[in-house]
Amino acid sequence: MIARRRKSMKLANPAPLGLFGFATTTWLLSMVNAGWLPATTVPIVLAMAFAYGGTAQFAAGLMEMAKGNSFGFIAFCSFGAFWWSFALFEKFFATGVPTAAVGWYLLVWGAFTFAMWLASFALNRAVFLIFLALWITFFLLGLSPLLGIRALFTLGGYTGLITALIAFYTAAAEIINESHGRTLLPLGVPAVRLATAPHPAE
């Protein structure tokens, strides 16, 4: 009886929660990085990083684990932890840390994101684009202090804004399509399926 109830129980889709948490927090931080907002607005970014980008996104990752989605589990929990680490660093540990160390911190996250991007080839095109824009953002932000080129940091702010917009669209598409029971906002077919699809002439 218990096993039958578990089979019939439908779990909620946690992806929109994780994506909205990621998109909104990334948008606010990227506005600062791109120079749209002054550095004095960073505290509001930290608040979002702790609550929505960090906690809500990590919770979404745990829900993905319960659904057996390894990609969603690793992605949401990892980036939830990223926002916690970023907020903790900015709030408590940033004083006296060399800028080169911050650059390597961002590059490490860029390498992780690149690996996840390779995995995303098998997922829908929207998720593929999120991770493509995100690893580029991390590398631009990370290389800026290492190379001493401020323009790379500003450019990373703009690619971060693009990343946030794609993530927000993906989250909106997930919840809107599910709520209406049909595809209103397309997410695109997987990149791998496109690459391996037979040629029309074949």
pLDDT band at 11 (very low <50, low <70, confident <90, very high): confident
Higher pLDDT pick, 65 / 199: 65
The dihedrals phi and psi of 197, each to the nearest 5 degrees, come to -65, 140
d(CA 108, CA 5): 43
pLDDT recorded at residue 179: 95
Gap between the Cα atoms of 107 and 95, Å rounded: 20
**Is the pTM higher than 0.85?**
yes
Contact (CB, 8 A) for 59 and 72: no
Give 36's contacts (C-beta < 8 A, 6+ positions apart): 157
Q: pLDDT tens digit string along 125-174? A: 999 999 999 999 999 999 999 999 999 999 999 999 999 999 999 999 99
> pLDDT digits over 59-110, tens only?
999 999 999 999 999 999 999 999 999 999 999 999 999 999 999 999 999 9
The domain ranges of the chain are 13-193
Question: Vertex 86, ends 102 and 154: CA angle to 5°?
Answer: 60
